[in-house]
């Protein structure tokens, strides 16, 4: 039997549906200490007093860890990609979002750990917070981040991700119609059934065994090793079977702090976030603010697009610059738009930091582009299938950043759905393929813009 | 009260692998003395089915039954680097790593079988767990016998390692965004049609049917990829009409902290779904596969927004398309408001949501359009 193409059952499906899969939470470790976090009750504040001694003196408390205990408190998870770090593992001088961790406690049981957290003496001075990305650039906007209100570390010190292609002014001058709109998808939860959870065992040989629900074992191991300033052979990550992630378990949420507590207390540690913590303190999908204007001809050719995007990164950068770059690279969707002018910013707000979620960077622009194309089709009185087929990217066309498409299939997927719906199309659309345009649909005066690169 | 029906479509694309690449996956495989295969990879299975898919790729590549494969991704002591399960990379990038490792194992099995059969390994093939001479299928030795010969006769361990890494694509012109290499492993494509019913009294949007065509390159396991597409569609439906972490953002009130106070799709929200797979093979993916895991929740929100407009004539471009937003839009429409501004050839929708309307007049960021 051929294995590829076969509908074989899921490798661990029976174990999943009979409750026999061992997830991180199911690993029983004798003597494990429970972990709880002291979290910021404010959206933005200066910490004016932090005294953990009342917690440390409580019976059953095994260790308390604050920023002072972390060998490298600020570590950029994407420093290898040139994205520097901005987020402390534990807040020290300042908190920037509701729920930000400030201290963690390990105690003999969950109740004692929570009581110890409550016993920590802390005082704040509240500061003005920024929530609406559209007000981040205002002269009177509260300043909320050490880098300013938006990320300033793209290549060559640029404060935005840019795409420039073709001659945008000519495209807008040549257009018969310009359609402009605003698109704003919301922050949503990744919503895995398994909340953030981890257990760490300090082994007799000095290593740490880390039971982790990470989506990325080696990536997370690198993050923990960097914060602890230890080589990789100090750690054994155990995991690989995750109760849902959807992007929310790429950031390393629990492993480093559990490791620090295990090292400080000499005890195994366990941190299982409550459902409420999962909702309120873990990263969300980013909300995006997108404005686009398309220069179109009355017969439906999209000649150019001007677009600005504000990505709401929340309080820290995390993977946001990566998401904005990916967004920029794909901001024309499945179409060839020859003239482009795109600016995208990672804007900081006092929201829970946003990060990866299924479709990172592109879910937003798929919504904007496709809703926008539907509006254009309506404005021009053109069949929405035909408008899309006309502008679909073809073999040899180039992407926003100049990459030649070798195997696009916008045309076949649109034809397939038209066929499935029984939607009638004229013969020259019905027979369209992804091959370079030679079907006479493209008017002569647009060939230099919309045609294939070898044509001009 | 009237329920209005509408339909909208969307067509999308999505990259496979980390944007700008540079994201390695590695794997190694050993063969037990009875020919059973142990795969070690560091790819987390987050419910996407990567254990199954990678096992299928290994079985196919070596030429043995799927049931002979044991897959171990349980720890970093025994498994090599995998950058992780994100960026739709587990089937394509990590799948290529196990495929390359399996190709090495296949070569080693053929080498030892060649010695046993006294035939040039180039003239041998592996089919269903048996090494057979090409053109002479009665001349054969089973893979278990090869593994036994390696273990007890030749004193060798049959093993193979593989790695997949597409080099980092640098942005060589920050002003234009130009890159020096393709910044993805492949691009996948999909189209979606949403059919909705909109109640003009309550504002409720009900998605009744989703038709989706996905170019998956090659369906390594059609059941699993259909599951990805349909599961993703429900997440897209949530993004489109139900879910929000902050219902009144930039107000911070009413943030849901429990399942009961956060509206994720439930069984009662599920539409009828038709899923159509297209196989337009990728040039260099494992058996032509592309990654479609993430994009599965991308086409529904715009198809739904368009269907809502088709049904009741209003565009709601802030998500989710809640009953409140639909009713407010219908009220504005009834009052003769909410139409785009038309100045010459410029047609401006959603002006009230724009930076121009909300930001300080001296703020430097605006969408500037010369009509």
Please report, for the domain that includes residue A316, its CATH number.
3.30.365.10
The answer to the question of residue B129 being in a domain is yes
Full residue range of the structural domain in which residue A295 is found = 155-187+284-455
User: Is-contact A371 A183, C-beta < 8 A?
Assistant: yes
What is the rounded distance in angstroms from the CA atom of residue B362 to the CA atom of residue B364?
6
* Paired tokens of B357: 């309307």
Nearest chain B Cα distance for residue A121, angstroms: 26
* Chain A touched by B84 (CB under 8 Å): yes
Residue A421 forms part of a structural domain? yes
* Residue A298 within any structural domain of the chain: yes
d(CA A298, CA B19): 35
Q: What is the pLDDT along chain A (456 residues), one digit of tens a residue?
A: 589 999 999 999 999 999 999 999 999 999 999 999 999 999 999 999 999 999 999 999 999 999 999 999 999 888 777 788 999 999 999 999 999 999 999 999 999 999 999 999 999 999 999 999 999 999 999 999 999 999 999 999 999 999 999 999 999 999 999 999 999 999 999 999 999 999 999 999 999 999 999 999 999 999 999 999 999 999 999 999 999 999 999 999 999 999 999 999 999 999 999 999 999 999 999 999 999 999 999 999 999 999 999 999 999 999 999 999 999 999 999 999 999 999 999 999 999 999 999 999 999 999 999 999 999 999 999 999 999 999 999 999 999 999 999 899 999 999 999 999 999 999 999 999 999 887 667 777 677 777 654 443
Cβ(B32)–Cβ(B313) under 8 Å?
Answer: no
d(C-alpha B121, C-alpha B110), whole Å: 5
Tell me the backbone φ, ψ of residue A61, rounded to 5 degrees: -85, 125
Rounded distance, CA A336 to CA A263, Å? 55
* B80 and B215 co-located in one domain: no
Say if B228 is an interface residue toward chain A (CB within 8 Å).
no
Window A:208-227, CB contacts with B under 8 Å = 214-219, 221
| Confidence at residue A439, expressed as pLDDT on a 0 to 100 scale | 61
Give dist(CA B111, CA B122) in Å, integer: 9
The owner of tokens 């090659």 is B218
Residue B219 touches chain A, beta carbons under 8 Å: yes
Distance from CA of B136 to the nearest CA of A (A): 20
A81, part of any domain: no
B24 and B7 within one domain: no
Q: Are residues B194 and B332 in the same domain?
A: yes
Number of domains present in the structure of chain A: 1
> Is any Cβ of chain B less than 8 angstroms from the Cβ of A127?
no
**Closest Cα in chain A, distance from residue B312 (Å):** 14
Asked if the structure places residue B330 within a domain, the reply is: yes
Q: B 332-361 residues with CB below 8 A of A?
A: 345-351, 353-355, 358-360
Say what the pLDDT of residue A456 is: 39
Joined tokens for residue B104: 């090495």
For residues B35 and B102, membership in a common domain is answered with: yes
Number of H helices, E strands in chain A: 13, 17
Q: Chain B contacts of A360, Cβ < 8 Å?
A: 86-87, 294
Among A71, A45, A73, smallest CA distance to A315 is for A45
Give the nearest partner residue to B211 out of A156, A284, A420, using CB atoms: A420
Q: What pLDDT digit, counting tens, does each position of A48-84 carry? A: 999 999 999 999 999 999 999 999 999 988 877 778 8
Residue A390 forms contact with B (CB below 8 Å):
no
Per the structure, the complete domain to which residue B191 belongs is given by 3-15+184-339
Interface probe, candidates B42, B99, B128, B365, chain A, greatest A C-beta count within 10 A: B365
Task: Measure CB to CB from residue B10 to each of A246, A370, A405 and give the nearest one.
Answer: A370
Structural domain tally of chain B? 2
Nearest to B263 by CA among B344, B184, B319: B319
- For residue B354, being part of any structural domain is answered with no
**What pLDDT score was predicted for residue B185?**
92
Q: How far is CA B137 from the centre of its chain?
A: 40
- Residue B250: cis peptide before it, omega within 30 degrees of 0: yes
- What is the reported pLDDT for B58? 98
Is B350 part of a structural domain of the chain? Answer: no
Distance of residue A70 Cα from the nearest chain B Cα, in angstroms: 24
Q: Which of A99, A371, A394 to mutate to test the interface with B (most CBs of B within 10 A)?
A: A371
Tell me if chain B has a CB within 8 Å of the CB of A21: no
Is the same domain home to B152 and B195? Answer: no
Domain assignment present for residue A269? The answer is no
Inside any domain, residue A236: no
Write the CB contacts of A117 (distance below 8 Å, at least 6 apart in sequence): A36, A37, A38, A55, A103, A105
Cβ–Cβ gap A180/B369 under 8 Å: yes
Look at residue B1 in the predicted model and tell me its pLDDT: 78
Inter-chain touch B255–A328, beta carbons under 8 Å: no
Q: How many Cβ atoms are within 10 Å of A420's Cβ, its own excluded?
A: 15
Q: How many CB pairs under 8 A join A and B?
A: 431
pLDDT at A116: 98
Which two structure tokens, joined as six digits, stand for A280?
């309120």
The rounded distance, in Å, linking the Cα atoms of B370 and B72 is 59
Q: Is residue B137 part of a domain?
A: yes
Same domain, B220 and B142: no
Asked if residue B135 and residue B238 are part of one domain, the reply reads: no
Q: Is residue A292 part of a domain?
A: yes
CA nearest to A328, candidates A149, A136, A160, A167: A160
Alpha helices in A140-274 (DSSP H): 168-174, 217-228, 255-265
> CB contact, 8 Å: A380 with chain B?
no
- Residue A342 maps to a domain: yes
- ipTM of the complex as predicted: 0.97
Question: The domain spanning residue B146 has which CATH number?
Answer: 3.30.365.10
Q: Say if residue B320 is preceded by a cis peptide, omega within 30 of 0.
A: yes
User: Residue A449: inside a domain, yes or no?
Assistant: yes
Residue B356 belongs to a domain: no
Query: Same domain, yes or no, for B159 and B192?
Result: no
CB within 8 Å of A406: residues ≥ 6 apart: A395, B283
A142 in contact with B, Cβ within 8 Å:
no
Cβ A365 vs Cβ B299: under 8 Å: no
Q: What is the pLDDT of residue A455?
A: 44
CB-closest option in B66, B86, B347 to A180: B347
To probe the interface with B, which of A163, A285, A374, A391 has the most B CB atoms within 10 Å?
A374
Decide if pLDDT at B172 tops 80.
Answer: yes
Question: Where on the phi/psi map is residue A127: left (φ > 0), alpha (ψ -120 to 50), or beta?
Answer: beta
Q: Which of residues 116-135 of B touch A (CB under 8 A)?
A: 128
CA–CA separation, A195 vs A214, rounded Å?
Answer: 11
Instruction: Enter the tokens of residue B167.
Output: 């080099």
Please identify, among B164, B195, B219, the residue that sits at the C-terminal boundary of a domain: B164
Scanning A230-249 for CB atoms below 8 A from B yields 232, 235-247, 249
When CB atoms are compared, the residue of A191, A366, A402 closest to B299 is A366
Joined together, the tokens standing for residue B56 give 């299928």
Q: Which residues does residue A309 pair with via DSSP β-bridges, in sequence order?
A: A290, A344
**Nearest CB to A308; choose among B235, B320, B365:** B365
């Amino acid at each position: 039997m051929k294995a590829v193409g076969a509908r074989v059952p899921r490798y661990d499906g029976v174990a999943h549906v009979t409750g026999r899969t061992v997830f991180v939470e199911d690993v029983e470790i004798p003597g494990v200490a429970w972990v709880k976090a002291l979290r910021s009750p404010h959206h933005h504040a200066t910490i004016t007093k932090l005294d953990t001694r009342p917690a440390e003196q409580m019976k059953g408390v095994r260790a308390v860890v604050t920023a002072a205990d972390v060998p490298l408190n600020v570590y950029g998870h994407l420093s290898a990609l040139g994205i520097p770090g901005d987020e402390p593992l534990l807040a020290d001088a300042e908190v920037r979002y509701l729920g930000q961790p400030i201290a963690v406690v390990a105690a003999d049981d969950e109740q004692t750990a929570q009581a110890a957290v409550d016993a920590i003496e802390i005082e704040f001075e509240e500061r003005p917070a920024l929530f609406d990305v559209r007000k981040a650039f205002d002269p009177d906007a509260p300043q909320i981040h050490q880098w300013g209100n938006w990320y300033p570390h793209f290549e060559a010190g640029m404060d935005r991700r840019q795409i420039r292609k073709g001659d945008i002014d000519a495209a807008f001058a040549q257009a018969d119609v310009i359609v402009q709109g605003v698109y704003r998808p919301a922050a949503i939860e990744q919503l895995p059934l398994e909340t953030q959870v981890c257990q760490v065992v300090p082994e007799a040989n000095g290593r740490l065994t880390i039971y982790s629900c990470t989506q990325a074992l080696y990536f997370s191991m690198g993050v923990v090793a960097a914060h602890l300033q230890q080589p990789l052979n100090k750690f054994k990550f155990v995991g690989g079977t995750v109760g849902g992630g959807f992007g929310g378990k790429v950031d390393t949420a629990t492993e480093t702090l559990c490791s620090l507590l295990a090292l400080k207390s000499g005890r195994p540690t366990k941190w299982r976030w409550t459902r409420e913590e999962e909702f309120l303190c873990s990263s969300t999908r980013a909300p995006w603010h997108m404005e686009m204007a398309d220069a179109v001809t009355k017969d439906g050719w999209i000649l150019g697009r001007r677009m600005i995007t504000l990505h709401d990164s929340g309080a820290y950068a995390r993977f946001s610059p990566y998401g904005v770059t990916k967004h920029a690279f794909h901001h024309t969707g499945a179409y060839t738009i020859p003239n482009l002018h795109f600016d995208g910013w990672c804007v900081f707000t006092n929201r829970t930091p946003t990060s990866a979620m299924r479709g990172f960077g592109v879910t937003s622009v798929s919504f904007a582009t496709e809703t926008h194309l539907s509006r254009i089709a309506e404005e021009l009185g053109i069949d929405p299938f035909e408008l899309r087929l006309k502008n679909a990217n073809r073999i040899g066309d180039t992407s926003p950043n100049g990459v030649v498409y070798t195997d696009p299939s916008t045309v076949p997927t649109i034809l397939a759905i038209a066929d499935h719906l029984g939607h009638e199309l004229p013969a020259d659309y019905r027979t369209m393929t992804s091959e370079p345009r030679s079907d006479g649909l493209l008017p002569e005066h647009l060939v230099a813009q919309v045609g294939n690169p070898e044509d001009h | 009260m009237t329920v209005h029906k509408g339909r909208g479509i969307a067509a999308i694309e999505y990259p496979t692998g980390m944007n700008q690449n540079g994201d390695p996956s590695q794997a190694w495989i050993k063969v037990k003395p009875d020919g059973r295969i142990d795969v070690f990879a560091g790819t987390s299975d987050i419910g996407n089915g990567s254990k199954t898919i990678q096992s299928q790729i290994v079985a196919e590549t070596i030429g043995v039954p799927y049931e002979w494969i044991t897959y171990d991704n349980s720890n970093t002591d025994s498994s090599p680097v995998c950058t992780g399960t994100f960026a739709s990379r587990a089937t394509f990038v990590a799948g290529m790593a196990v495929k390359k490792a399996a190709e090495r194992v296949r070569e080693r099995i053929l080498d030892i079988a060649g010695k046993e059969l006294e035939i040039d390994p180039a003239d041998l093939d592996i089919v269903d767990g048996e090494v057979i001479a090409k053109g002479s299928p009665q001349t054969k030795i089973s893979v278990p016998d090869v593994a036994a010969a390696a273990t007890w006769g030749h004193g060798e361990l049959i093993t193979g390692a593989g790695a997949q890494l597409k080099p980092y694509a640098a942005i060589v012109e920050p002003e234009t965004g130009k890159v020096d290499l393709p910044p993805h492993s492949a691009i996948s494509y999909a189209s979606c049609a949403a059919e909705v019913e909109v109640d003009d009294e309550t504002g409720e949007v009900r998605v009744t049917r989703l038709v989706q065509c996905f170019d998956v390159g090659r369906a390594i396991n059609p059941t699993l990829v259909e599951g990805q597409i349909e599961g993703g569609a429900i997440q897209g439906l949530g993004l489109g009409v139900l879910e929000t972490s902050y219902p009144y953002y930039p107000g911070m009130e009413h943030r849901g902290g429990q399942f009961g106070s956060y509206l994720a799709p439930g069984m009662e929200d599920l539409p009828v779904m038709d899923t159509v797979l297209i196989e337009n093979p990728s040039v260099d993916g494992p058996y032509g596969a592309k990654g479609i895991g993430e994009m599965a929740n991308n086409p529904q929100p715009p198809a739904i927004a368009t269907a809502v407009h088709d049904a009741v004539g209003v565009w709601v471009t802030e998500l989710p398309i809640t009953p409140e937003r639909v009713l407010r839009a219908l009220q504005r429409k009834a009052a003769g408001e909410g139409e785009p501004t038309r100045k010459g050839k410029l047609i401006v929708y959603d002006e009230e949501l724009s930076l121009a309307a909300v930001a300080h007049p001296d703020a430097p960021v605006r969408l500037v359009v010369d009509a």
